[in-house]
Chain A
Amino acid sequence: MDMTRENIINLVLALLLLVVPLAASQMGQPFTVTLATRIAVLALAATGLNIALGLGGLVSFGHAVFFGIGGYAAGILASHVFSGEPMAFGFEGSNQMALIWIFAVIACGLAGLAIGAISLRTSGVYFIMITLAFAQMVYYFAISWPAYGGEDGLSILVRNQFPGINTMVPLSFFLLCYGVLIVCIGLFALLRNSRFGTALQAARQNEVRVASVGISPYGIRLTAFAISAMMTGLAGALYADLNKFVSPSMLSWHMSGELIVLIILGGTGRLFGPVAGAMLYVIFEFALGGITERWQFFLGLILLGVVLFARGGLIGLLAGKARHG
């Protein structure tokens, strides 16, 4: 990897997100570790969205649906272990994260294919609205489905387990989430530089060009949308375990908006844009949230500033324009 300015910044961000919680844990500040975990999980969710939005130019305003499905996968599977009631086909549920993640990723992949197959027949504002509509449908379904807590949500009494790790220790759980995040950022990087990534980004830049070399943009976009959904769904499963709670709010349009905001703050389509965005977001939330309940007003001002004066987000501000090879 050549050490461009952006790569150095990425490395610094990656180390910062690792070193701060390690130090905080040493100093006996578990709350800081929890904040860092929140950053890692939100960054993971936004990295998923960044595949559709950043690389593909597909402004999905409904990615909370995948975040929520991932969360409910964790909550539902765990709840059956506790209640002792088997699920369908005599399956007893699971409190093993690895299995839960597989369920979350498969469920979100299928949901992504179904929602994408219909939504991708539209573009622009219609695409934004139709993805929002799908997410709202699932949101209201979750609210009105009493089996898993309905509006009140579903508690995960004991955090799900991962072999060799005590997930109840905040630092251990953080390291697990951080590891998953780094692996997924690596996948994002591979995807972006691959043949598939070339076609996906070209379709964002110029759809007609892609079609006239003989590649159908629809198939490329649908695949990207499903992969994007899977990654965001994985983040949802971790988020539910972080909070030991899942509720329909994970599915709400606020959540979809929050993910878009993270990406724009950090830098659309940039490898570490979601990480930078999640850091800014969570730190604002914590720092300003302690002073005023209306911290989102100030977040709005900052977002306005980014959109008007720093289109590449924080990464763009620090590293300059993106290079595409």
Chain B
Amino acid sequence: MVDLAAEPVLEITGLVKTFGALRATDGVTLDLRPGEIHALIGPNGAGKSTLIHQICGTLRQDGGTIRFAGQDISRTGVAERARLGLGRTFQVSSLAPEFSALRNVMLAVQAKAGSSFRFFKPVMRDRSLLDTAMAMLERVGLAGRADIAAAELSHGERRQLEIAIALALGSKAFLLDEPMAGMGPEGSKRLTGFLDGLRHQAPILLVEHDMDAVFALADRISVLVYGRVIATGTVDEIRRDPAVRTAYLGDHA
């Protein structure tokens, strides 16, 4: 159960982003509390990706504020937000394709340690990097594929690798942009089980089209339509909400 009295980890207030006449984000207010999975759903073009980009810092909002881990990050850059503990996965996997799965995670481990300005020691003989990175790969079930170049991993494995990277960063919150996309039913099931446990490490803002996964995982759901949050509530509240039914869920609910 979500503790609504707890201090939110991530708090978005009155966020606005316009592209010309289009209000892609139209006064969005939502928050993420410790231990919860907060799902963000909405039809294509509702502005989910635009919202994620603003939270990560790749897009600058036109108005409103974003607070994370107790501080205002509205004007903070991407790298700095990551350092503060905002871990993300991408809608389309974003990895260093030539590097092995292991070295991709090692990059995150060294970033966490703040030690990227070391010029001599070979990383492949650096136990502190290797062991931590390997442990993360084991947690997501990729240990057997550690030596494979990221470009040669399957779609699902790349998703898992991104999560391993977010884990290695010791993130205080996870932003997962459609982690189930392109996964087979077996993979989705496995990932659902994994995310279910992950929320206890850090809360998750989950953008997802797979409704089975959303209903199975979410503590709360926010529904985004035309850049606005039209409803926020528990799974049952959202299922019953008439506005949501007409706008989005249709016959599926």
Interface, chain A (partner B; CB < 8 A): 190-191, 193-199, 201-202, 205-206, 208-217, 220, 223, 322, 324-325
Partner of A212 from the list B88, B97, B106, B149 (CB cut-off 8 Å) is B88
- Rounded to whole angstroms, the CA-CA distance of A280 and B121 in the bound complex is 32
Contacts A190-B120, A195-B123, A198-B123 known; A205 to B115 CB distance under 8 Å?
Answer: no
Contact A195 B77 (CB under 8 A): no
Q: What B residues does A199 contact at CB under 8 A?
A: 107, 110-111, 116
Q: Across the A-B interface, give the 6 residue pairs with the lowest CB-CB distance, nearest first.
A: A214-B82, A214-B83, A213-B111, A193-B122, A205-B96, A202-B96
Partner of B103 from the list A210, A212, A216, A325 (CB cut-off 8 Å) is A325
Contacts A194-B118, A201-B96 known; A214 to B80 CB distance under 8 Å?
Answer: yes
- Rounded to whole angstroms, the CA-CA distance of A193 and B82 in the bound complex is 24
Partner of B56 from the list A202, A209, A212, A215 (CB cut-off 8 Å) is A212
**B169 CB within 8 Å of chain A:** yes
Contacts A190-B122, A194-B121, A199-B110 known; A215 to B116 CB distance under 8 Å?
Answer: yes
- Rounded to whole angstroms, the CA-CA distance of A206 and B165 in the bound complex is 14
**B100 CB within 8 Å of chain A:** yes
Q: What A residues does B104 contact at CB under 8 A?
A: 202, 209
Q: What A residues does B111 contact at CB under 8 A?
A: 199, 213-215
Q: Who on chain B is nearest to A216 by CB?
A: B79
Contacts A199-B110, A206-B94, A324-B149 known; A212 to B117 CB distance under 8 Å?
Answer: no
Q: Who on chain B is nearest to A210 by CB?
A: B107
Question: What are 12 residue pairs bridging A and B, where the CB atoms are less than 8 Å apart in the complex?
Answer: A190-B120, A193-B122, A194-B121, A194-B122, A196-B118, A199-B107, A199-B110, A202-B107, A205-B99, A211-B77, A214-B111, A324-B149
Q: Who on chain B is nearest to A189 by CB?
A: B122
Shortest CB-to-CB span from A288 to chain B, Å, is 35
Contact B94 A208 (CB under 8 A): yes
Q: What A residues does B102 contact at CB under 8 A?
A: 325
Q: What B residues does A201 contact at CB under 8 A?
A: 96, 98-99
Q: How many A-B residue pairs have CB under 8 A?
A: 113
Q: What B residues does A217 contact at CB under 8 A?
A: 79
Q: Mark B76-97, 1 if CB is under 8 A from A, else 0.
A: 0111101100001010001111
**B223 CB within 8 Å of chain A:** no
Interface residues on chain B, size class: 35 or more
Contact B58 A209 (CB under 8 A): no
Shortest CB-to-CB span from A59 to chain B, Å, is 18
Contact B110 A198 (CB under 8 A): yes
Contact A212 B94 (CB under 8 A): yes
**B16 CB within 8 Å of chain A:** no
Q: Who on chain B is nearest to A218 by CB?
A: B79
Contact A213 B119 (CB under 8 A): no
Contact A209 B96 (CB under 8 A): yes
Q: What B residues does A223 contact at CB under 8 A?
A: 117
**B124 CB within 8 Å of chain A:** yes
Partner of B100 from the list A194, A210, A220, A325 (CB cut-off 8 Å) is A325
Contact B100 A195 (CB under 8 A): no
Contacts A194-B118, A199-B110, A202-B107 known; A214 to B169 CB distance under 8 Å?
Answer: yes
Shortest CB-to-CB span from A146 to chain B, Å, is 41
Shortest CB-to-CB span from B76 to chain A, Å, is 11
Contact A324 B103 (CB under 8 A): yes
- Rounded to whole angstroms, the CA-CA distance of A28 and B201 in the bound complex is 73
Contact A196 B79 (CB under 8 A): no
Q: Who on chain B is nearest to A196 by CB?
A: B119
- Rounded to whole angstroms, the CA-CA distance of A213 and B58 in the bound complex is 13
Shortest CB-to-CB span from B146 to chain A, Å, is 11
**B112 CB within 8 Å of chain A:** yes
- Rounded to whole angstroms, the CA-CA distance of A55 and B83 in the bound complex is 24
- Rounded to whole angstroms, the CA-CA distance of A103 and B111 in the bound complex is 34
Contacts A198-B106, A324-B103 known; A211 to B82 CB distance under 8 Å?
Answer: yes
Q: What A residues does B94 contact at CB under 8 A?
A: 206, 208-209, 212
Shortest CB-to-CB span from B120 to chain A, Å, is 5
Q: Who on chain A is nearest to B110 by CB?
A: A195
Partner of A206 from the list B97, B117, B119, B124 (CB cut-off 8 Å) is B97
What 19 additional pairs, Cβ within 8 angstroms, besides A190-B120, A202-B99, A206-B96?
A191-B119, A193-B122, A193-B123, A195-B117, A195-B121, A196-B117, A198-B116, A201-B96, A209-B94, A209-B107, A210-B107, A211-B77, A212-B56, A213-B112, A214-B112, A215-B107, A220-B116, A324-B99, A325-B123
Partner of A195 from the list B80, B82, B97, B115 (CB cut-off 8 Å) is B115
**B206 CB within 8 Å of chain A:** no
Q: What B residues does A205 contact at CB under 8 A?
A: 96-99
- Rounded to whole angstroms, the CA-CA distance of A114 and B122 in the bound complex is 29
- Rounded to whole angstroms, the CA-CA distance of A170 and B229 in the bound complex is 77
Q: What B residues does A210 contact at CB under 8 A?
A: 79, 96, 107
Q: What B residues does A209 contact at CB under 8 A?
A: 94-96, 104, 107
Contact A213 B82 (CB under 8 A): yes
**B108 CB within 8 Å of chain A:** yes
